[in-house]
Structure 1
Amino acid sequence: MRLAARMQKLAPYLFAELDRKKREAQERGLDVISLTIGDPDLPTPAGIVEAGQRALAEPANHRYPAYAGSQAFRAAAARWMKRRYNVELDPEREIVALIGTKEGIFHLPFALMDPGDVALVPDPGYPVYSIATRLIGGEVHWLPLREENGFLPDLAGIPGEVARRARVLWVNYPNNPTAAVADEGFFRRTVEFCRQRGILLAVDSAYSEIAFDDYRAPTALQIPGGKDIAVEFHSLSKTYSMCGWRVGFAAGCPEVISALARLKSNMDSGVFGAVQQAAVAAMDAWPAHLPEVVDVYRRRRDALVEELRRAGLDPPNPRATFYIWLKIPGGDDTAFAAELVEKTGVLVAPGSGFGPSGKGFVRMSLTVPEDRLREAGRRMGEFLSRK
């Protein structure tokens, strides 16, 4: 069967490949500690689960949901944005429900870009930004995130011709995979950069609530003029341990929100109503469970950093997300990760899977219990001592 030419642009998804390597290692009898995908092992809080269970029994939820999200869901998202950021949003015009933010991020280029248009994409970054751009025939212009610049993009270094053709600038702070953070000043500069050039600022805020040491993530929508030029993606997956529920929302520029909703109405049938009701319970309960969750990840961060330093490595002590972005000896992250899992059963994500500038790094997720993180660190130490 002949497949579409666009499939040639679609390599196997990074985390699907890592899942395959995990299965292969387990089949060889290894005790695998997978620190790859950011899938929280903590359960969804009981009150959210109970709200979802009650909603399952409601016959109204057995029918098609509203395409853009129920009024109750969008109103809850607006209330959450007001409480969290003091940002006023119109739930009808400035919010759309998503089947998880991955779906919305993937669909945005289809609503915004034509073939030949440019997307400004962080490197390293979440792979979906570049994958979706290429599938619609757009061009990716990488914005290297360098350690010496705090893993922030150098907007002044973007060539003028590239900026003139750009339709969207992707930013993601707190950042995946580097765990870097940005302050309000960064968002002010970025909003102004996009406003002057007519570029949409697309902000992936999936990790906004997983923050330590008094860091509090800002939003582009609180910057004057931000709602005119920015769309922000908020996920319930990380904050509420709801990855499997598949729910989130996009908020911001009404014109883009309307276009995204129109596109989605032709491509999917919305978020299951019971899931939306559980999400309403989650957002309205915020931040009740959050300190406990953040404390778990903080203890895990400290444990893994301690073991890695004991192994002679120099990991950062991130202020947000549940990732460690680790520079590895030798510089070949793909070979390092392959040998590490083969010799020790510890599986990490090669940095080059997130973009060319990820070479020489690996990403380690804190979504396994503390004792397993310490064991992973010890195994890495033994592995390095034998090299």
Structure 2
Amino acid sequence: MKIIPSKKMSLYKPAIFSELKAFAKKQQQDNGIELVDLSLGSPDIPPHEMLREHMAKLSLLPTSYGYTLSASTQFKEAVARYYKRVNGVDLDPQSEVIQTIGSQEGLVHLPVAFCDPGDIVLTTNPSYVAYDAGIKLAGATSYYIPLDEERGFVPNLNAIPETIAEKAKLLIINMPGNPVPALPSIEYFTEVVEFAKKYNIIVLHDAAYSEFYFTGDRPVSFLAAPGAKEVGLEINSLSKSFSLAGARVAYIVGNAEMINIIGQLKSNLDFGIFDPIQATAALALDNAEEITKNLRTIFAERHHVLTEGIKDLGWDVVPSDGGMFVWAKYPYNMDSVSFAFKVIEQVGVVMVPGTEFGTEGEGYVRLALVQPVEQLEKALVKLKSLSI
């Protein structure tokens, strides 16, 4: 039998993460290289003990295994309480909150709910890979907004041509970002709202790293900007902030009409999230201040050690006070994919080449803060011995 994939599959290349890990493992087996893996942004810190105990207890109940169909009232109300406490944003838990099976699923499916083939979606280059995946799934077209270094690597809306803005249907932004960890301001989000109103564009802000801030106040929520709920949405995940990556639970909040449209799509896609996960997520949100404070202390130290260490190597590092990654420009005349594999081969440090996130990532690598300080220091020693 001849198996022929759909034409749409030609739009999706295999992600490089598995290739990097396979190559690293082979180097370890064949050459005895000790690895320090800074590639995948998967939390290495286990969930808080109260969350593990809660989920374990609920998982033993025989009544926990039916379809949930959608988010529980308990979960939605916990999201609303969390947003009120930490962001000062009021949400109607019934009409302005919807659950997704992790933010990846939400990000990939959301363009399908709002975009027709040929519609323009504004995003950045570089950006998180799920944005383009969702845009392609909807048959829409990406237009990439420059990340202006002089503006602190926030998307420069003024660089979007009028003819493009007038045709755009959706704008996706992400701050603190992946891979570029720029922080937002209320002034910038106010600018985004005004831009969206002027051109009738739906805004989606990906706030997956909103609990990762290391100095000063927490990153502002997009929904805190005046008029934000009139034009858009914010998606957030418990994967990073609460170390629940494997549990796959996230949510989208904001404009009630948009939430209703997403709910209509999701009712045709899934049957909800395992009830013990939903209940545990609600417990996490209600105890966010206690849980995330410790997380920030750990990641702030990691961020300082890796950032300063990379600078000492003579690399350029994008300044940041938050996020889960370091975005660095290496001083070698080599494309980022070749460089990433060469580093594994020579010293066993696994990083993601910048071009995985877009063409403007050439010359950069992304390093995830997912190892203890001792391992980060070991990685820096290894990188110092590079011979390229």
- Partner-residue secondary structure (3-state), 2:154: coil
Shift of 1:153: 1.3
Distance 1:357 1:97, change over 3 A: same
Code of the residue aligned with 1:180 in structure 2: it is A
Distance 1:20 1:261, change over 3 A: farther
- Partner-residue secondary structure (3-state), 1:108: helix
Shift of 1:124: 0.7
Code of the residue aligned with 1:8 in structure 2: it is S
Shift of 1:309: 3.1
Unaligned ranges ≥5, structure 2 = none
Q: Are 1:101 and 1:247, in contact at CA under 8 Å, matched by a contact in 2? A: yes
1:46 aligns with 2:49: yes
Task: Give the corresponding residue for 1:336.
Answer: 339
1:30 aligns with 2:33: yes
Task: Give the corresponding residue for 1:273.
Answer: 275
Shift of 1:118: 0.7
Task: Give the corresponding residue for 1:293.
Answer: 295
Q: Are 2:235 and 2:252, in contact at CA under 8 Å, matched by a contact in 1? A: yes
Shift of 1:220: 1.6
Give the Cα separation in 2 of the matches to 1:4 and 1:87: 43
C-alpha deviations, 1:50-79, integer Å up to 9, x for none? 111121123332100032x01111111111
Task: Give the corresponding residue for 2:306.
Answer: 304
Task: Give the corresponding residue for 2:380.
Answer: 377
Report the TM-score when normalising by structure 2: 0.96
Give the Cα separation in 2 of the matches to 1:325 and 1:81: 29
Give the Cα separation in 2 of the matches to 1:60 and 1:92: 24
1:198 aligns with 2:200: yes
- Give matches, 1:116-265, under 5 Å: 116-265=118-267
- Aligned partner (choices 107, 110, 117) of residue 108 of structure 1: 110
Q: Are 1:194 and 1:229, in contact at CA under 8 Å, matched by a contact in 2? A: yes
Distance 1:197 1:60, change over 3 A: farther
Q: Are 1:351 and 1:360, in contact at CA under 8 Å, matched by a contact in 2? A: yes
Task: Give the corresponding residue for 2:10.
Answer: 8
C-alpha deviations, 1:127-159, integer Å up to 9, x for none? 110111112211011112132331111111111
Code of the residue aligned with 1:214 in structure 2: it is G
- Partner-residue secondary structure (3-state), 2:190: helix
- Partner-residue secondary structure (3-state), 2:98: strand
Shift of 1:38: 0.8
- Aligned partner (choices 20, 23, 47) of residue 22 of structure 2: 20
Q: Are 1:96 and 1:250, in contact at CA under 8 Å, matched by a contact in 2? A: yes
Unaligned ranges ≥5, structure 1 = none
Q: Are 1:326 and 1:363, in contact at CA under 8 Å, matched by a contact in 2? A: yes
1:70 aligns with 2:72: yes
- Partner-residue secondary structure (3-state), 2:124: strand
C-alpha deviations, 1:92-115, integer Å up to 9, x for none? 111001111111011101101000
Identity of aligned residues (%): 33
C-alpha deviations, 1:184-242, integer Å up to 9, x for none? 11100001101111111100000000101114111121122111111100110111111
Give the Cα separation in 2 of the matches to 1:243 and 1:187: 28
Q: Are 2:113 and 2:261, in contact at CA under 8 Å, matched by a contact in 1? A: yes
1:352 aligns with 2:351: no
Code of the residue aligned with 1:246 in structure 2: it is R
